[in-house]
Structure 1
Amino acid sequence: MGYEFSAADVDFLTSAAGRSALAEVGALPLTAASRLADVAAARKIVPDFAAAVLETAVLRRKAVAKLSSSDDWLFTDAALQQATPSPVAEHRARRLRGRDVHDVTCSIGADLTVVARVARRCIGSDVDSVRLRMARHNASAAGVDPLLVRADALRPSTGDTVVVADPARRDTAGQRKWRAADLVPPLDDLVDAYRGRDLAVKCSPGMDFDAAPWADEVELVSLDGQVREACLWTGSLATVSRRATVLRTNGPEWTITSDEPDDCPVTPVGAWIVDPDGAVVRAGLVRHYAARHGLSQLDPHIAYLTGDRPPPGIRAFEVLEHGHYSEKALRAVLRRHRIGRLEILVRGLDVDPNTLRPRLKLAGDAEATVVLTRIGHTPTAVLCRAHATT
């Protein structure tokens, strides 16, 4: 779970001497191969706080891929792992614009600093005094000034504010927790503490949302093709029962909701196969997505879609041929097409791509994708060529 920071560590890291030490240690290689040399160098540069400085320098490098404007921030390893990527946090904060907001599990302030830019008034609280010190520093580095207080999330300390919460989803050993009752604080206890208030609760996208019947809206958010989080909205913050939002670092974002039509047929394999974004699948909006784009399902219980024309701006699969799936039949198809590089997509069948691939004995100079799925009770293989649509 990483180094355990103390209040003294934070005080040093935010001092002139600490900033100087961080600059020197931050210039070290900081790779797995250089770990022993980096530790030795850090101990020479700053003997009394070598571990804290070295951990901070490493975490700042990790944060670059996740958080914008975090070069001067302080982190713990667990807090950085749980922090929302900046584009996702900015998307969520748009609903909070102009509101009075209390982030009751603010941790090191990754979400708090984003919300503080758009909220009318912003308060952050946490039970961990060290993380609060880090949040105060990070807020200052981000150019915002939310009120920060130490408080238990289950003991409301404000009234008439929107409540934002991000319950911890890992135990002390770093293992992920999926059940709502195992979060810290437990989800039902959190909701009971703020019953009647507008809530925005960040959760794992893998959570069983049936365990949160109090949520007026469940939103799944993906970033660059990876499902990043679920947000459970209540009260005036909710607008539909289900929503999928797809964000792109360098491209347009879009959303689809349960209010849209979901009338799509089930048809045989067409010219294209479309694998909807994971946020759409997790939100249960595959049929809505199909209806929007004139697609159909291969099977009413499988998320793969088909049609004559794929939606723009996605990676879709042009069908080369398809038929009943067996390893023997698939090997023959791959030999005929001289496939030497193969992407294997599976849904609805008990097939492990990593186990299957060496048994296929690929040989050739062509590249393809095979979609393995079930249509009714029939195992089916669809050989495709992937395209980025425009």
Structure 2
Amino acid sequence: MAYTFSRDDIAYLTSAPGVAALAEVGDFALTPASLLKDLERVRKSHADFASALVETVRLRRRAAVKLDNAQHWLFTDDALQQATPTAVARHRAQRLAGRTVHDVTCSIGAELAALAEACPAVIGSDLDATRLAMAAHNLGAAQLESTGHVRSPRNVVLVQADALVPCSSAEVVIADPARRADGRRTHDPAKLQPPLPDLLAAYAGRDLAVKCAPGLDFDKLAWAGEVEVVSLDGAVREACLWSPGLTEPGVTRRATVLSSTGEPWTLTDVDSDDIPEREPGEWIIDPDGAVVRAGLVRHYAAKHGLWQLDPRIAYLTGDKVPEGVRGFRILDRMEFREKPLRAELHRRDCGPLEILTRGVDIDPDALRSRIKPRGSQPYSLVVTRIGRTATVFLCATP
């Protein structure tokens, strides 16, 4: 069970002795195998704050792949799980640049740190006093890289407030409802905390951006604005609901693809979706998850001169692969039947075997274990449905 931080913990962790103790504990392994022994050692030196120290160091290590400057931040386990990755938060902040913004569920401040860089005035509010105290520290820590000092930005104000009770006149309200109900992750908008319908009602008529899980059924919301699905380095991270005043005319769906190493790009439903119906080309392309979740597969195909294997399936095909995208070159195609497929793979000396599926009820791991590839040549299988027929494409592994 995750450790529950107190205000006393925060005061200690941000003091000079606490900072020194965190540096000391940072040298411990804190692996599952060593944790109990490490905790005993920390308790001998730091008594009542041992658990807070160990939990903070472990959370900082987890946060390092998600948040900039995480080695100086404070977290709770739940808050870290829901915290917006820095790259995604900066993307949202750039869309709001120049406006005054109120984050009504600011938690530990991941959004606030990005908003402070792009917006002239920012308000952060939350009901949880402990998370607000963490946010105050984290905003100061976020300044370390640019200033060398832990100092909160002057354009951010923190207040304790209920997200469902409007308390500012900021131009834009943003919110990130908690996605757990009764200890379990939920995709029901009415079970979010605060409930999404209540949140929308509380800020009716205001410019609003609401971060959501990409698994929510957005069609049930009858949302009048834009639904943006964002991926980062190939993984779908979130969806964001943008009210009509914060988006371009006519846009109701957007896919935004962010990369730690390349340029971001975006696609909307006002782009063309005119594509041909043709037999499979030389390549199969699996579009980025943001494109699939946003329902923009045809739009992506039209942009890159591709077409669909089947109108109901998100796999695309064509005679060339878009730059920077992983493609699968088709070597053979057959109706999906395990016995002939296994014989063909053994004939080809198949060894390492990647299996992708869509539109068929097949477990890739179970299928691989039944095929028992024993050779040395790597291959990829794309198993999907074309019309009513389960079809497998044997492809060269990219």
Between the aligned partners of 2:182 and 2:75, the Cα distance in structure 1 is 17
1:154 aligns with 2:164: yes
1:187 corresponds to which residue? 196
Describe the superposition over 1:5-25 as per-residue Cα deviations: whole angstroms up to 9, x where unpaired.
Answer: 111111111111111111111
- The amino acid that maps onto 1:76 is T
2:240 corresponds to which residue? 231
1:1-390 correspondence runs (5 A): 2-143=2-143, 144-145=153-154, 146-171=156-181, 173=183, 175-239=184-248, 240-387=251-398
Between the aligned partners of 2:282 and 2:371, the Cα distance in structure 1 is 25
Given that 1:109 and 1:135 are in contact with CA atoms closer than 8 Å, whether structure 2 keeps it comes out as yes
Between the aligned partners of 1:64 and 1:281, the Cα distance in structure 2 is 28
Describe the superposition over 1:162-215 as per-residue Cα deviations: whole angstroms up to 9, x where unpaired.
Answer: 001000012353x21111011000001000000011111000011111132234
* SS of equivalent residue, structure 1 residue 46: helix
Given that 1:169 and 1:176 are in contact with CA atoms closer than 8 Å, whether structure 2 keeps it comes out as yes
Between the aligned partners of 2:220 and 2:24, the Cα distance in structure 1 is 49
Between the aligned partners of 1:45 and 1:372, the Cα distance in structure 2 is 58
Given that 2:210 and 2:241 are in contact with CA atoms closer than 8 Å, whether structure 1 keeps it comes out as yes
* SS of equivalent residue, structure 1 residue 117: helix
- The amino acid that maps onto 2:40 is A
Describe the superposition over 1:362-389 as per-residue Cα deviations: whole angstroms up to 9, x where unpaired.
Answer: 12110011000000001100011133xx
Bigger shift: 261-270 or 222-231? 261-270
Describe the superposition over 1:285-324 as per-residue Cα deviations: whole angstroms up to 9, x where unpaired.
Answer: 0000011111111110000111111111011100010111
- The amino acid that maps onto 2:299 is H
TM-superposed deviation, 1:161: 2.4
Q: Identify if the C-alpha distance between structure 1 residues 215 and 185 changes in structure 2 by more than 3 Å, giving closer, same or farther.
A: farther
Given that 2:378 and 2:397 are in contact with CA atoms closer than 8 Å, whether structure 1 keeps it comes out as no
RMSD: 1.1
- The amino acid that maps onto 1:163 is V
* Equivalenced residues, count: 386
Bigger shift: 31-40 or 369-378? 31-40
Bigger shift: 156-165 or 193-202? 156-165
Between the aligned partners of 1:273 and 1:73, the Cα distance in structure 2 is 43
* SS of equivalent residue, structure 2 residue 206: coil
TM-superposed deviation, 1:141: 1.3
* SS of equivalent residue, structure 1 residue 371: strand
Normalising by structure 1, report the TM-score: 0.97
TM-superposed deviation, 1:347: 0.3
Given that 1:181 and 1:187 are in contact with CA atoms closer than 8 Å, whether structure 2 keeps it comes out as yes
* SS of equivalent residue, structure 1 residue 137: helix
- The amino acid that maps onto 1:91 is H
- The amino acid that maps onto 2:101 is V
Structure 1 residues without counterparts, runs of 5 or longer? none
Given that 2:25 and 2:42 are in contact with CA atoms closer than 8 Å, whether structure 1 keeps it comes out as yes
Between the aligned partners of 1:148 and 1:339, the Cα distance in structure 2 is 59
- The amino acid that maps onto 2:15 is S
Describe the superposition over 1:200-240 as per-residue Cα deviations: whole angstroms up to 9, x where unpaired.
Answer: 10000111111322340000011111000101100321222
* SS of equivalent residue, structure 1 residue 71: helix
Describe the superposition over 1:108-155 as per-residue Cα deviations: whole angstroms up to 9, x where unpaired.
Answer: 001111111111100000000000000011111113241000000000
TM-superposed deviation, 1:265: 2.1
Q: Identify if the C-alpha distance between structure 1 residues 111 and 25 changes in structure 2 by more than 3 Å, giving closer, same or farther.
A: same
Between the aligned partners of 1:342 and 1:331, the Cα distance in structure 2 is 12
Between the aligned partners of 2:277 and 2:42, the Cα distance in structure 1 is 62
Q: Identify if the C-alpha distance between structure 1 residues 20 and 215 changes in structure 2 by more than 3 Å, giving closer, same or farther.
A: farther
* SS of equivalent residue, structure 1 residue 19: helix
Given that 1:215 and 1:232 are in contact with CA atoms closer than 8 Å, whether structure 2 keeps it comes out as no
Given that 1:293 and 1:311 are in contact with CA atoms closer than 8 Å, whether structure 2 keeps it comes out as yes
Given that 1:298 and 1:305 are in contact with CA atoms closer than 8 Å, whether structure 2 keeps it comes out as yes
